[in-house]
Chain A
Amino acid sequence: MQGYHDLGGAAAGPVPKEEHELQLWEKRVEALLVMLTRRKILRVDENRRGLESLGGEVYHSLNYAERRILAISNNLILKGVISVEALAAKMAEIGERKDPLP
């Protein structure tokens, strides 16, 4: 059983080497993860496990920051840090903003 995230040795073709600029929200995802680990709310190992629990289809359809924030959200719900209801309400509120990001 080889995990869908465990890609070492897979035929993936040449590595794209062009730089791409991170969007502000993508940097915020990393900042959030650093804050959560430093405050010992979430371990990096737990987040890796979260990424490995998204399912291959979801995992490969999302970019790096998207799959990370999804794993963080699932873990925070699992650990009781946030509720599904509160998260959904906040997402709906932000979605109604004229300029959701940043």
Chain B
Amino acid sequence: MNATANAATSSAPAYIAGERVLVRQVDSPGHIRTPHYIRGKTGTIERFVGFFKNPEELAYGRSGQPVRALYRVRFVQSQVWPDYAGAAGDTLDIDLYEHWLRPEASR
């Protein structure tokens, strides 16, 4: 996948670094790259990664268009796992597509 080439055909990303986002709590059939354990959790946009063909479409042999914005989203481990035993400041980064994110305020 070529993120730069894809970017030319897509609009600007909806989120910027530092914004708080909520991962959609959706139980969906199909090929989903968003881990189940992170759905419904809130994190912070760490960076915009690029525009990529949609793997949920590619998985079924389709074009993957329109491309989707991909972000690296940072979560606090203790907020993801109720019984987390590691250091309080531990974080977890996950690459998530824009259509799986909502502004935190929409909760």
A3 at interface, CB cutoff 8 A: yes
Q: A49 vs B64: C-alpha distance in the bound complex, in angstroms?
A: 14
Interface of A is mostly: loop
Query: In terms of DSSP, what is the predominant structure of the interface of chain B?
Result: loop
Partner pick for A48 among B29, B59, B64, B81, CB 8 A cutoff:
B59
**Contact between A52 and B31 (Cβ–Cβ < 8 Å)?**
yes
Contacts of A45 in B (CB 8 A): 31, 55, 58-59, 64
In the complex, which range does the number of interface residues on chain A fall in? 10 to 19
B61 touching A43 by the CB < 8 A rule? yes
Q: Which of B41-71 contact A (CB under 8 A)?
A: 55, 58-61, 64
Residue from B27, B28, B35, B59 within 8 A of A49 (CB atoms): B59
